[in-house]
A and B are shown apart, each in its own frame.
Chain A
Amino acid sequence: MESPDTDSRIIRMLRSESMKENGFRLLTKTYGERLYWHIRRIVISHDDAEDVLQETFIQIFTKSATFKGNAEQLAAWLYRIALNEALMHLRRQTHFFQSIDDVNPLLLEKLEAAETHDGDAAERLLQKALLQLPTTQRTTFIMRYYDEMTYEQMAAITGKSIGTLKTNYHYATERIKQYIQAHHDSI
C-alpha cells in the first residue's frame, strides 16, 4: 500500500528546482513498476510497453511543473498520463479512417507471438477474450480486475462518470463470459 507521506514528499521535491531530479527518481521508483504493468496490459507487446513507459516518464517529468494537485491526486495523474500514452500508441498503429478498436487483431497476433504466459491456458483464453472487446471496455476491465482500482480511482483517471465505468465493466464481463463459454474447449 502506498503512503500518503511518500506522495507528499514526491510533490514537494518535484516543485523544488534543486530536488526535482531526485523527486522524479523517487516517483519512478514508487510507481514505475505499476505503470509498466498497466501499460503492458494495454499494448500487449513488451517492446511497445517499454517505448510507452519511456514516453510516459518524459511527459511526467516535463509536466511535473504544471501539476497543481495534492498527494491524493498524484497517482491518478500518473495513471492518466500512462493511459493516454498507451492509447496514443495504439492509435498510431491505425490508418486514417480506422478506429482504435481496429488494432485488436494486431494485438492478438502480438499476444500469440510473444511468450507472455507461464503456461496458464485459462489466462491465455482470458486475454483473447479481452481483445474481442472495444478498447474502452477493455481498459476499464484491466483497471478493475488487474490493477484492482475502485470506481472512484478509475473516474479520477479517465474523467468518466462512475456510472459509465460500471456499465463498461458490466458489459466487458458479460462478453468475456460468453467468449470463454464458447471457447473453453480450447483450454
Chain B
Amino acid sequence: MTVSKPSSKPFSEPPAYVEQLVERCTENALRQAPLRQQHRRLQLRRRFMAAAASIVIIVGVGFTLPTLRQQLLPTAQTAAMQADANALENYLASISDEEAQLLTDYEVEEFVEY
C-alpha cells in the first residue's frame, strides 16, 4: 500500500514540531514497551496465583468444615451434660435424707379443670 504525502489540514502545527513529537514518542515507546510487557506478565502471574489460592482455600474449607463440626459439637454437648450431672450431684449432697425421701414420694396432684 502506498500513501501520499500527509496533509496537515485543517490543523496548523508546523512540520518541525510534529517531527520532534514523533521522535519523542518513538524514544518513549522504546523505553516503555518492555516495561509494559513485564508489567502485563506480572499481572497475569498474580491473577493466576490468586485464582490458584482461591481454589485451594475453597477446597480446603470444603473438606475441613464437616470434620470441624463433628469435633466441636460433641465437645459442647459433653460439657453441657457434664455440667448438668455435677449440678445434680451437688444438690443431692446438700439435702438431708428426709428431704430426699420427700422428693422420691412426691406425686403430682391432678387439678380439676374449671
Contact = CB atoms under 8 A, between A and B. Distances in A.
B30 A24 contact: yes
Given A37-B11, A57-B29, A116-B12, A32 B22 contact: yes
A29 B11 CA distance: 20
B65 interface: no
Contact of B22 (A36, A73, A117): A36
Contacts of B2: 1-2, 4, 75
The SS class assigned to the A binding surface is: helix
A123 interface: yes
Contacts of B1: 72-76, 153, 156
Interface string B29-73: 110110011000000000000000000000000000000000000
B15 interface: yes
A177 interface: no
Interface residues of B, number: 28
A33 B3 contact: no
Nearest to A25: B26
B95 interface: no
A45 to B, nearest CB: 10
Given A29-B22, A33-B22, A36-B21, A146 B28 contact: no
Interface stretch (A46-54, A85-93, A96-104, A160-168): A46-54
B87 interface: no
A36 B14 CA distance: 13
Given A32-B26, A147-B3, A53 B11 contact: no
A54 B22 contact: no
Nearest to B7: A146
A89 to B, nearest CB: 15
B26 A57 contact: yes
A123 B9 contact: yes
Contacts of A1: 2, 4-5
Interface of A: 1-2, 4, 21, 24-25, 28-29, 32-34, 36-38, 40-41, 46, 50, 53-54, 57-58, 60-62, 72-76, 115-118, 120, 123-124, 126-127, 146-149, 153, 156
Given A33-B15, A117-B11, 12 more contacts: A24-B30, A32-B18, A37-B8, A37-B11, A37-B18, A38-B6, A53-B21, A57-B29, A58-B32, A58-B36, A75-B2, A116-B10
14 contacts: A1-B5, A24-B29, A32-B25, A37-B6, A37-B18, A54-B28, A54-B29, A61-B30, A61-B33, A124-B10, A126-B10, A147-B3, A148-B3, A148-B7
